[in-house]
Structure 1
Amino acid sequence: MGSSGRLALAASPLVAGAMQALQRATGLPVAMGGPVSAGSRTLVIDQLRGTATGSLQHLRVDTGAGLGGKAVALARPSTVIDYLSAQGITHKYDRAVAPEQLRAIVALPVRVSETTRAVLYAATRESITFGDRILRAAHSVVARLERDIEVEEEIRRRLAEPSPSALGEQDDLRAELLAIAGSIQDGSARQRLLAVCERLHPAPAPPGGPLTPREIDVLRLAGEGCTNEDISTRLGLLPNTVKSYLKHAMRKLDAANRVQAVNRARAAGLLH
């Protein structure tokens, strides 16, 4: 999206996935979306779900015009009960909206770093007032999309940074990304992060030899914040056995403590 290096939302699976989630979360039949250009702040609706015609495809919406343009201008969600007769918006795009017979619509700006990157719409062909449940569900989808964009842009920024010791930097980055992936609840976002990690130069094997499956299990749970007692319960092991596995893993990884061992195992790609 321009020289700023911003995520190309129009082609991104993030927006397509968010639109599907928006339909599912709100129960509304129509979802639309598209990026907001960095320079002109023009919204282009380039993705549609549940529409009956192509009248809205590639529609360019100026900031302040229509419902989506109002959401961009105000940097907050905007709703109408009946689009074609709504007060408080311009009707510049009525001819494009009319063939779809859309009435109640909510337009939600997707904002990252205090900048609107895209707008998502959820709509129905009935004249209704959106209740708190629908609006909360829509806001949750947008918030998740904003987080995913932040993560993906940070990955791209880090990968693009020049480094005097590229291999060492890649290993550090790989370990960091694996740690982020382990903290993300959204399954699809986690898999995208892991795929990026696999494209990086693989970290060397543990210097003290390969870890056993049980040592990996213990380190994985330690990385999730489990105590030795928690690990023993979850794996059906005695606490002293857990300590033994940790001790052997730390020696193989040349780690001074369990935190360092977990980080080195992640860097080696062992804790997926």
Structure 2
Amino acid sequence: MTSPGQLALATSPLIAGALQALQRTTGLPVAMGGPVTAGSRALVIDQLRGTATRSLQHLRVDTGAGLGGKAVALARPSTVSDYLNAQGITHKYDRAVAPEQLRAIVALPIRVGKTTRAVLYAATRESIAFGDRVLRAAGSVATRLERDIEVEEEVRRRLAGPPAPIPRDQADLRAELLAIAGSLQDEAARAQLLAVCERLHPVPVPTGGPLTPREVDVLRLAGEGCTNDEIADRLGLLPNTVKSYLKHAMRKLGAANRVQAANRARAAGLLR
């Protein structure tokens, strides 16, 4: 079984990517963060971007203390416009923050289920009130990281555990695994999952006949979540024509709906 320490280590590349995205989407010069240790509920800042000193490196932030500790305690984002003079937070870590001259900071707890797994910070050395655009951008990065951690850890748990019976069509299972692999940022985990997919025999297209190039195009976009109108617009077709292509593809693949058809086509190697 994968230990909490191993799971925390596995999230490190995901946090690094999220910090880069946080700087890019918010336009704020400083981003930092780290995992919340299991059991103690203490945050350890172990990744820094845009800092001028190492004063915050490996800083342990207790739950309820400082801005990050407040975000962990409340399980929601917390902000200040001028950290060293802010009310509503403890100033236990002022000596660590002062060398960086950080003023406006947002702390974002990363929640998986009911547990805070990490905290991200975005900051500037100016005293400003964050607008809706910055907060929405930061929240989007946090949400994406939560999803990535959840997927990553679920995949690692399944790979580490005993084989389980497969209660579904092999084509659907293989397609689901390929979709999970495509969402992972960790190269090692992605390669490991793709190796598992390779051990599942490629699923041949049922005997309804080969798919036409247009049917493949329509299924690919349907598999990406596009509506019939969106598919029609992107391919220069009429919506009724799209429906016809989907109907024929579903019949050829023996699928009950468009999602199952897209999954089976992907599992058979027909879709990129």
Normalising to structure 2: TM-score of the pair? Answer: 0.77
Alpha-carbon distance in 2 for matches of 1:232, 1:79:
42
Structure 1 range deviating more: 142-151 or 55-64: 142-151
Alpha-carbon distance in 2 for matches of 1:138, 1:229:
29
**Cα shift readout 1:140-173 (whole Å, capped 9, x = no counterpart):** 221222122222233333334423557x897653
CA contact (8 A) 2:151 2:184 kept: no
Consecutive unaligned residues in structure 1, runs of 5 or more:
none
2:96 alignment partner in structure 1: 96
Q: How does 1:40-189 map to 2 (within 5 A)?
A: 40-163=40-163, 172-178=172-178
Counting aligned pairs with the same residue, the percent is 70
1:200 alignment partner in structure 2: 196
Normalising to structure 1: TM-score of the pair? Answer: 0.77
Quick one: structure 1 residues 266 and 5, their matched pair in 2 at CA, closer, same or farther if it must change by over 3 Å?
farther
1:262 alignment partner in structure 2: 262
- The DSSP-based 3-state class of the residue aligned with 2:197 is coil
- The DSSP-based 3-state class of the residue aligned with 2:121 is strand
Consecutive unaligned residues in structure 2, runs of 5 or more:
none
Q: How does 1:212-251 map to 2 (within 5 A)?
A: 213-223=213-223, 224=225, 227=228, 234=235, 247=248, 250-251=251-252
Alpha-carbon distance in 2 for matches of 1:30, 1:271:
40
Quick one: structure 1 residues 82 and 144, their matched pair in 2 at CA, closer, same or farther if it must change by over 3 Å?
same
Structure 1 range deviating more: 51-60 or 149-158: 149-158
Quick one: structure 1 residues 133 and 226, their matched pair in 2 at CA, closer, same or farther if it must change by over 3 Å?
closer
1:22 alignment partner in structure 2: 22
- The DSSP-based 3-state class of the residue aligned with 2:204 is coil
Quick one: structure 1 residues 220 and 246, their matched pair in 2 at CA, closer, same or farther if it must change by over 3 Å?
farther
CA contact (8 A) 2:79 2:105 kept: yes
Quick one: structure 1 residues 107 and 248, their matched pair in 2 at CA, closer, same or farther if it must change by over 3 Å?
closer
1:37 corresponds to 2:37? yes
**Cα shift readout 1:89-108 (whole Å, capped 9, x = no counterpart):** 22222221111111221111
Alpha-carbon distance in 2 for matches of 1:195, 1:211:
29
CA contact (8 A) 2:178 2:197 kept: no
CA contact (8 A) 2:32 2:49 kept: yes
Quick one: structure 1 residues 179 and 10, their matched pair in 2 at CA, closer, same or farther if it must change by over 3 Å?
closer
CA contact (8 A) 1:64 1:70 kept: yes
CA contact (8 A) 2:32 2:120 kept: yes
Residue-pair matches, total:
265
CA positional deviation for 1:261: 3.7
Q: Counterpart amino acid of 1:234?
A: L
CA contact (8 A) 1:32 1:122 kept: yes
CA positional deviation for 1:269: 3.5
CA positional deviation for 1:199: 2.5
Alpha-carbon distance in 2 for matches of 1:76, 1:26:
18
Alpha-carbon distance in 2 for matches of 1:233, 1:99:
53
Quick one: structure 1 residues 230 and 11, their matched pair in 2 at CA, closer, same or farther if it must change by over 3 Å?
closer
Alpha-carbon distance in 2 for matches of 1:244, 1:26:
42
